Structure 1
Amino acid sequence: MAREYPPLLIAVIICVLMTVLAGTYALLASEGAPPPKEPALPPAPAGTPGTPVATGAPVQVASRTFSISVTPSSATARPGDTVRFTLTVHPEDGFAAPIEVNVTATALGGVYRDNHDLGTISVPYPPLTYEVAAPDLPPLVSTATVDAVVTATGGGTVRTERVQLVIRR
């Protein structure tokens, strides 16, 4: 014989189950929803310490940086000749950090490689001169081009300049 339950008990059990299911669905559905927006605070009176005053003009933040130039950018020499290169630093927007200078050179398809640390220069950034003695050429080679990259690093900024030295017998 089947046991009968009162209809009111069945209705209460169904309501409880539906409430639990609806709550679970709401919790699971809200995981992908964007977070609620915070209410906007009323604006502070103009001139309040620590509060920027809106003027409507865009704010420009000057980035402190520098550029470099190397002269000459290319030169021709005979083996053994000395060539003088000059690096000039051009600070911008009050840049004043120390700058480390390195030179990396390659020639003859990478057979010749040379690296030099030229040191660190500081404000007021005097021109940095670097003298290079043109290397001797291998037998049966009448002309070679040395490609160099001057790298200046300072204040989180890296600048490079390419320089070329052509060596002819």
Structure 2
Amino acid sequence: MAREYPPLLTAVIICVLMTVLAGAYALLANEGAPPPGPPPAGTPGTPVTTGAPVQVTSRTFSITVTPASTTTRPGDTVRFTLTVHPEGGFSAPVKIKISATALGGVYRENRDLGTVSVPYPPLTYEVTAPDLPPFISTATVDAVVTATGGGTVRTEQVQLVIRR
């Protein structure tokens, strides 16, 4: 016998999956491209040891999901955009995972969304808020998007509040 889930839970899962898929798509654009290595010694433009301090730019990234929090009614459509922001020449693949909870922790979902690569285009996705179960006037879906790449881990909190 197939197990049935409440519509709110289904909506929460869909929201989380859409967020993760958008992040994964952005990261997969640069799959397999290795970071640039140092030039051979004596190559024009190669720094020479002079004793002067050299400022090193850190290769890292950040992520944003907009809106980070929104309130909607059942049946309304919400548009989210996930963006990976490379900094200091960062070009490593980024692995995206999502973890969501709803209904006071009764529901928990963890998903691996895959890996995305440069040029990390913004990903836009739409989610339709599900109907709420009887006697429930408000439900909140909390999700954490985790991006890992090049030795860096970044997280972004996302919240969807559904009200009758």
Corresponding residue for 1:99? 94
Q: Is 2:62 aligned against 1:64?
A: no
Q: Is 2:87 aligned against 1:84?
A: no
The C-alpha deviation readout for 1:21-71, integer Å capped at 9, x for no partner, is xxxxxxxxxxxxxxxxxxxxxxxxxxxx8xx96544323332210011111
The amino acid that maps onto 1:153 is T
The amino acid that maps onto 2:69 is S
Corresponding residue for 1:148? 143
Corresponding residue for 1:164? 159
Percent identity over the alignment is 82
Q: CA RMSD in A?
A: 2.2
**Aligned pair partner of 1:109 in 101, 104, 108:** 104
The C-alpha deviation readout for 1:54-89, integer Å capped at 9, x for no partner, is 544323332210011111111112224332211111
With over 3 angstroms needed to count, the CA separation of the structure-2 counterparts of 1:54 and 1:116, relative to structure 1, is closer
| Aligned positions, number | 119
TM-score norm. by structure 1 comes to: 0.61
Give the 4+ runs in structure 1 shifted more than 4 A. Answer: none
With over 3 angstroms needed to count, the CA separation of the structure-2 counterparts of 1:166 and 1:142, relative to structure 1, is same
TM-score norm. by structure 2 comes to: 0.63
Structure of greater relative contact order (alpha carbons < 8 Å, 6+ residues apart): 2
Uncovered stretches (5+) of structure 1, i.e. residues with no partner: 1-48
